[in-house]
Structures are given as C-alpha cells and as structure tokens.
Structure 1
C-alpha cells in the first residue's frame, strides 16, 4: 500500500504540472499569438498521444502496463524486453502512418479555419501543422518507454523526466511567444522537447534497468496476440474518451471561427483538473493490481479496492 501511495503521488506530478503550466501560459500565449492563432494552436495541440491520437494506441499502452507488471512478478525478464521491442515497432509504424497523413493534410486542416479577426497567418499555421506531424511520430515512440517504466513501477524515472521536460518546454514556448509571436516556432520548441523526452527515457531504460542488459531485438507473434487480447478491451474507453474530451474541438473547427476555439479553451480548462485526477489514480493502480493478480494475492487486491 505504501508503494502504491508513493507511486500515485509521483504519477500526479507531471499531470498537475501540465495543468499549472497551462494556466500560466494561456494568457501570455493569447496576448502574443492573438485569438485566432491561439485557437489554431489549441486545435493542433490535440493531435497528440494525450489527445485525439490516443485512440490509435488501440489500448496497447494499458496492455503493456498490465503484462509488464505480470512478467516482472513471474521473473520473466525476456518477455519484458520483448514487449518493449514489439511495442516500439508497433508504435513506430502507427506514428509514421499518422504523421505522414497529417503532413499532407496540413493545407486542408488550416484551410478549414474561419478567421474572423484577420490576424491568422495561414502560411505559418500550415507550417505549424507540418511540424506537428513530425511531433506525432516522436510522441508515439515515447509511449513504449513510459508504459514499460510504469509497468515495472518505476514511476520516479518516468514522471520526473516528463515533468522536467514539460517545464523546459513551457518556459521556452512562453519565451518564443513573447519575443517572436510565432506559433510555428512554438511547435518547433515542442518538437525539440518531445525528442529530448524520447532520448532521456530511452537512455534510462537501457542503462538504469537490469532487464535490458544486454539489449535484444526480437519479434514474437504469440506475445503480440497476448497484448492485443487485453488492449481490445481498453479500446472502448479510448473511444469514449475521444467523444467526450476531443469532439467538441472538432465541431468548433468545422463550424466556428478560430477565435472561438481560444474562448472555449479558456472556459473549459479548469475541468481538466478533474480528468487528471482520475487518470493519475488509474496509471498507478493498474500495474499494482496486475502484479498482485499474477502472484494470486487476491486478498491484497480486496484490501486495495476497499482502501
């Protein structure tokens, strides 16, 4: 219970840091980007593994959390390593497909925006959308490292890395907004921060965990089927999450002006705190329950549920 409590606290750090940084950055970005460009900034930001594109994860991240915890409980180090190898290939292909699609759809995405302020630079906005397409690919590659670290209950490594990179990212984005007022450069900063996060997580997994020394790359179809058997259950929650958390912004993009996206974002942002609380609890408890279940410690699971 003590470890679960500590992991829950640690896993909340990056979530609450993100909310706090958003609250600080929002008025600054609106002031320097303008209402229309900030609205585009908000919309392009949903093309991430935390937003709309979480659907294309197809529940695999939760499945990795579950099975990596079970493999650790059994002492099956080979399967832990194979899970990382397989998921890197899986997420790399998905990220490449989605990133390529977004790159070529950038003109269409920006053309759909109605600019009622006359302030939207569509050339820069299109460039920003193309930068986001590269960020999509890098983001998907970070998912396996985060999932494996959390499945092994190494929340400190995962969450501290994410928190540190988030702070650097937002400080630099705010500086870019103040000194250049260019949204496309802000997304260059975000791309750089995502790449830094991937490199740090990769180094941590490779050199700080005993399961990946030596590193071996192997594709196991039986393991892929096992992971998909669980991920398909989680897919429903992904669909529900998109409907309730992301479709509102799509409707604004289709029918309203870009400045309305900015106004809507400011109004609904406080509700993100509640959603973060639920996500935080789930990320810490899933690997703990999986480990207890693998060891047949049913009584401990009951105690965990009651508490």
Structure 2
C-alpha cells in the first residue's frame, strides 16, 4: 500500500532533485568546457551520447516490474513478486553482457566513426568502456529500484537520486583540477553509480524480506507476460533515445568534436526545461488511470487542459528567456565565442521545445487510456524523421541543419497530430483545448515576453549574476499575466480544496 507520506515526500524530493540537477548542470557545463577545452568536452559528450543509445536495451522491463510489483504487493502475493524480479534480473544480466559486447566493438571503431582528435582516441575508447559498465550496472540494479517504486518508496528513491546527481557531478571538480582526464571522470561516475545501486539493492531486500531471487531461465508464460507489457514501452523508450541523443552523434560524425560542444550546451539548456515539465507531470498518469477506470471523462478532460496550462505557465518564462535573451546568457555563462556558435541552435531548439511542451500531457494520458502502441509508433516516426532530416540538412548547413532536423518533426506531431488525437480520446473539441490549454497561457506570457525583449535591447548586464537577478526581477510580469488571465479559476480552486479538506475531516 502506497502511503501518503511517501507519496508526498517523493513529490517534494523530486522537485528538489530536479532543481538541484539543473543548478549543478549550469555550474558544471562551463567548468567542464574551460578545463577540457571545446574538443575535449565534445569527446566527453560523444561518449555519453553513444552509451545512452544503449539504454534502449532496458527492454521496457523497469516499467513492467513496477506494474507487476504494485499489483502483486497489493494482493500480498510475495511469490509472484519474487518470480517477476528473478525473471527480470535474469534477463538484465544477459542484457548487461550484450551492452558490454557492443561497447567493446564500438570502442575499437570509435575514431573511425567520429571526428575525434588523435590525442583523444585512447582516452575516448577507455571512457566509452567505463561508461558502458556504468550503464550495465544500472540496468541490472534497476530491477531493485523498480521494486521500490512499485511498493511506493518514492522518498527513498528520490534521496538516492539526489545523492547520485550531486556526487557524480561535483566529484569531477577535484578530478579535473588535479589534472586527470576523461578516463578518470568516467571511472568516478562508475564508482558512485555502482555504490548507489548496491545501496538500493540492500534497501530493497530490507523492505521486502520475503523477496527471493532465483537466477534460472524464467518459464515461457512469464516471459510472454513480461514481453507483452514491455514491447511498446521498449519501442517508445528507444524512440525517445533516438530523439534525445541522435543530434550529438550526427554532429560528431559529420562536423567536428568542437561543434558537438556548441550543440550539446544548447540541447542541455532545453533539456532542463523538459526536466521541469516532467517534474510537474510525472504523477499525472496515475490520476488519469483512476479517472479512466471510473469512466470520469469530465475529470480526464479537465486534467488534460489543466495539466497543459500548468506546464506552459511554469516553463514558458524559461523558453522565452532562452529565445530572446539566449545570446546574452551564453555570452555571460560560457563566453563570447561560444555564444556566436551556439545562440541560433539554442533558439531553434527552444522553439521546438515550446511546441513539444504544448502537448506535454500526452504520455500520461495515452498510457492511462491504453494507447501505448500509438504513443510508441508516433514517437518512433518522429525519431526516425529527426534522424533522416538531420543527416540531410547537416551536409548543407552544418550544425543548424541538425537543429532544424529536430524542430521540423516536432512541429508535425505537436501541431497536427497529438492535439486532435488526444482530444478525440477524451471526447473534447480540439478548438476548446487549443483555446484553453494553449492560447490562454500564451496570452498570459505576453507581458513577460515584451519586457524581456525590452531588457535585451536596453538593459544589458555585466555579469551572469546580474542576468539572473534581472530575470528574477522580470518574473513578476509572468505571474501578473497568469493572474489576469486565470483569476476566475482561483475561487474554483479554493472551493475544490475546501471540499477535499471537509471530506478528509469527515473520513
């Protein structure tokens, strides 16, 4: 049974972990670039991106274990939990061996695939093997974190994630200052991740003392059950990896390692915005599932609209800042030369993110309505289109072509497919959703947009901290715009909260 305390703790710790990760990333990116150089940082990004592709070998098992564990634990069927975990662990051991075999092959071919400077060839090969070992350990031990998630230990998982993010990132500072290379960075991350994974496994056996592991080939019927649930999750995850990590690899193959640095920094800024959106939406899928189970489509429609509004109101001030003031930010954060190369890439990717965020609730609602097949197929089509367009355009306009290759498929799915498809699923007119879910948040952001443009023209800061303080000083305009547009909803929200408190008091 999932307790309210652990659920609430997971939400709070999740928010803290997200913003801590972003803060550390904002600090570490210029630090890594200045200590590794543009080429060295590009090699580091290529190694990480190449290994991240292998995460598709998750095979959708983590989601499957979470679902099986939650259902079996609710029934008190500890034997089924042990069977599922044993089967998943058996599969993951073979998967980890496959990852290492692929990594060894890629390490031999790495300098022939990417434009890596000669002095980095050996370093990149060793770092790739170490990073693949890190991924392999994560794949194996994620079986235990899935069990913890299935039984509701969100607070513990959040704490472990926060510790891992902090140590793996900040631990690189003394490593680089002492003159060590990318190999030492990869080795440090392996040690921290492996330690956190072992702690999670020990915690899993402590909170589930009935858990028994048997490492033998699972029965065919259990394998079929795991595969039937995990297949479309696997395809969706693989497509997501294709979208997230294709660009850096394409730039590394067709341009230079230094160009990867420019693209990776811009992509990372946009990825932070996605992380914030995910922290808002990650608990929407259970709500949508409960509404669907009770055939409460009115609440499902409300969740769809309110979820979109919330994500846009939280993230669009950041997107507007990146598009309008991205050049100033990069100049103060990394340097003048870097801003010249990366600003236009940042603006293109930020616009693509703005379109994607307008349909940010698609994952939760589609999964809740058992439309994971459609979700996986459309995401895969978008990923393949991203790859194809990037390969075509990079030959003509370089790094910008890769950015446009990302934006064009996003426009196609975000504007012309997902709004109509989701509105059809929840029995809602598309126009109503676009008006309430999209246009009203955009209207609320207009004051912030105009004042940000004015600041970029007439209020140039001298240092990065000045830029941060300026942005914080302008944010009340976004809050004011949201209040003006949504002030009528505030009394309704108060009434709903009051009713829920009254029901809780009665119970």
State the TM-score bracket (shorter-chain normalisation): 0.7 to 0.9
Alignment partners' CA distance in 1, 2:80 and 2:286: 16
For residues 300 and 81 of structure 1, do their structure 2 counterparts lie closer, same or farther at Cα, with a shift above 3 Å needed?
farther
How far did 1:216 drift? 3.8
Q: Provide the rounded CA distance (Å) in 1 between the counterparts of 2:129 and 2:29.
A: 23
Count of residue correspondences: 298
Q: Larger Rg: 1 or 2?
A: 2
Counterpart for residue 33 of structure 1: 36
Q: Given the alignment, which residue of 6, 16, 21 partners 1:18?
A: 21
Specify the SS of the correspondent of 2:178: helix
Alignment partners' CA distance in 2, 1:301 and 1:8: 25
Does the 8 Å contact 2:49/2:249 carry over to 1? Answer: no
Secondary structure class of the residue paired with 1:269: helix
> Hey, what does 2:264 align to over in structure 1?
265
Contact 1:65 1:287 in 2 (8 A): no
**Residues 1:239 and 1:195: Cα distance change in structure 2 (over 3 Å):** closer
RMSD: 2.9
In the TM superposition, 1:1-307 aligns within 5 A as: 4=7, 6-48=9-51, 51-115=52-116, 120-212=119-211, 215-217=212-214, 219-280=218-279, 283-284=282-283, 298=294, 306=302
SS at match of 1:272: helix
Report the CA distance shift for 1:97/1:167 in structure 2 as closer, same or farther (over 3 A).
same
Farther off after superposition, 235-244 or 139-148 = 235-244
Distance 1:94 1:123 in 2: 26
- 1:197 and 1:121 mapped to 2: Cα distance? 30
* CA displacement at 1:191 relative to structure 2: 0.8
Q: Post-superposition shift, 1:106?
A: 0.5
- Looking at structure 1, the residues matched to 149 and 231 of structure 2 have their Cα atoms a distance apart, in angstroms, of 20
Q: Distance in 1 between matches of 2:297 and 2:204?
A: 28
Q: Which runs of 5+ in 2 are unaligned?
A: 304-507
Report the secondary structure of 2:171's partner residue: helix
Counterparts in 2 of 1:249 and 1:90: CA distance versus 1, 3 Å? same
Aligned residue for 1:246, secondary structure, equals helix
Label 1:57 to 1:180 Cα distance change in 2 as closer, same or farther (>3 A): same
CA-to-aligned-CA distance 1:225-244 (integer Å, 9 cap, x gap)? 22211111223322331232
Whole-angstrom distance in 1 between the partners of 2:279 and 2:265:
23
Once the two structures are superposed, residues 116-165 of structure 1 have per-residue CA deviations (whole angstroms, 9 ceiling, x without a partner) of xx684322222212222322321211221222211111111212112112
**In 1: Cα distance, 2:92 partner to 2:145 partner:** 12
Q: Whole-Å Cα distance in 2 between the matches of residues 70 and 282 of structure 1?
A: 23
Where 1:166 maps in the other structure, the secondary structure is helix
Structure 1 residue 304 displacement after superposition? 7.7
Shift of 1:297: 6.3
Instruction: For residue 214 of structure 2, give the secondary structure of its aligned residue in structure 1.
Output: coil
- Residue 32 of structure 1 contacts residue 181 of structure 1 at CA under 8 Å; is this kept in 2? no
User: Which has the higher relative contact order, 1 or 2, with Cα contacts under 8 A spaced 6 or more apart?
Assistant: 1
Post-superposition shift, 1:184? 0.6
User: Which stretch of structure 1 is more off in the superposition, 124-133 or 280-289?
Assistant: 280-289
State whether residues 144 and 200 of structure 2, in contact with CA within 8 Å, keep that contact through their aligned partners in structure 1: yes
| Pairwise CA distance, 1:92 | 1.7
* Distance in 2 between residues matched to 1:286 and 1:71, nearest whole Å: 20
Q: Quick check: 2:130–2:186 contact (8 Å CA) kept in 1? A: yes
